[in-house]
Amino acid sequence: MIVPLIALLLAQVNPVPDAERLKTAQQLMDSGRYAEAIPALKALVARHPQSPTLRYGLGRCYFEVEDFPNAVSILRKVANETPKSAEVRFFLGSALGLGGNFAEAIQELRNAMQLDPNFEPAFRAFGMFRVQSGAHSEDARNALEAALRLDPKDARAHYWLGKYHQGWGNTDQARECFERAYELDHNDLPTRLGLAQTLLADGELDAALAHFDTVLKQEPGLVPALVGQARALYDKGEAKAAQAPAEAARRGALAFEDMSGAEWLLSRIYRELGRDADAQAAEQRLTRIQTDLGADVVRLRELNSQAERFKAAGRPDKVVETMQAFLKIRETPGAQITLGDAFLALGRPEDAERCYVRASQIGPLTDALKDRLRLVREPGAKR
């Protein structure tokens, strides 16, 4: 539960007009009008720079309007000034995670859990970001189960525990979690989608289709729902009806799993409909998708080896060229760090800093990376 700013600050702000501004800001926040509260809080922060609680309120408003960079910037300072606040760590971690920096988000949320073992939102958010980042790990499950012990009616915790089990192929456990999340919140589209997918895996095609249909009415172009709808129709023996959603999924697919799933389905649908030429074309596209993925892996290994050779030969200019080619195929923290090191060797600390900052956003902020950031921010930085 978030403690109202008024309760913490009303006795601290003077003169009376500031107290009135604070009351107005609190009322706006209480009514969900966070964008309108920001100007008042900014003015109060300027007049009372010694107050971390005011800055926390401003950071919360930026968080609620999804301005995560500003939220992170402000909440970092508040966290340093109030190191024992689990609530501040929770919102800082959440802002980091929603901004794409999972590594730091997880660390801040871990801090929040340690500071207050009863602060349920931190456990749910920790498990969520672990699963979102692809880490279907034991600590993700433990955190989500702890969240549900603290609040058995947290629908989002049930959903993310379902996603954890789904990632491991534990269909029965995933379905149980999605069903409980759905009981608690019938309106959540991701929950409906997860439940539909587990029903499909269990062969309950009509029930799965009902959920896929509902999801697609609200979000018509959602590719995983289109793939699921097409697969359920195909499994029911309705290949003709499955064709349209499968083709729509192919047009909208960006992720490898969605692209390959759509092509796989279309190859079978077209065969069923006697469209052998179209089936063959879908099979060829599927092969290209799979081949291109393998080709990317081989190419990335080659580029990484080339960069190591250029670095050993003292050619940072060639390292830059090589790693820029690498990053066009796939972005990794290590590639950004290698590119940053090469820029620094060329006397380009601004470019190096940009790479190091990006590495910290998509990967862990290690001590070595912190050292690099300190180095490039020193006057006359050059390695």
Domain positions in the chain: 1-82, 299-376
To 10 degrees, what angle do helices 86-98 and 52-64 make?
30
Q: What's the rounded Cα separation, in Å, for the pair 103 and 88?
A: 17
What is the end-to-end Cα distance of the chain in Å, rounded? 48
Choice between 147 and 24, residue whose per-residue pLDDT is larger: 147
pLDDT band, very low/low/confident/very high, at 294 (cuts 50, 70, 90):
low
- Please check whether residue 234 is in contact with residue 241, taking contact to mean a CB–CB distance below 8 angstroms: no
In order of 60, 82, 133, 146, 174, the CA distances from 126 in angstroms are 19, 20, 11, 11, 19
| Contact residues for 378 (Cβ-Cβ < 8 A; gap 6+) | none
For Cα atoms 1, 156, 226, give the angle at the middle one, nearest 5 degrees.
150
Question: Rounded CA gap, 196 and 233, in Å?
Answer: 13
Dihedral over alpha carbons 155, 219, 209, 131 (to 10 degrees): -40
Segment 304-363, tens digit of pLDDT:
888 888 888 888 899 999 999 888 888 888 889 999 999 998 988 889 999 998 888 877
User: In angstroms, rounded to a whole number, what is the distance separating the alpha carbons of residues 22 and 84?
Assistant: 24
CB 117 within 8 A of CB 142: no
The reply to whether CATH 3.40.640.10 applies to domain 299-376 is no
Q: Determine the Cα–Cα distance for residues 204 and 171; give it in Å rounded to an integer.
A: 13
CA 163 to chain centre: 14
* 185-189, 294-298, 327-331: which is most confident: 185-189
133 φ/ψ angles, rounded to the nearest 5 degrees: -80, 5
Tokens of 166: 């789904």
Q: What is the mean pLDDT of the chain?
A: 88
Q: Is the dihedral of CA 245, 247, 252, 254 positive or negative?
A: positive
- Equal CATH topology for 1-82 and 299-376: yes
pLDDT tens-place string over residues 64-123: 998 988 999 999 999 999 999 999 999 999 999 888 788 889 999 999 999 999 999 999
pTM above 0.75, yes or no: no
> Do the beta carbons of residue 178 and residue 161 sit within 8 Å?
no
* DSSP secondary structure code for residue 3 in this structure: P
Q: Domain 1-82 is of which CATH architecture?
A: Alpha Horseshoe (1.25)
Peptide bond into 15 cis (omega under 30): yes
Both tokens of residue 48? 């009372």
Write out the H or E segment, with its range, that includes residue 25.
helix 16-30
Contact status, residue 265 vs residue 245, Cβ threshold 8 Å: no
Give the pLDDT score at 293. 66
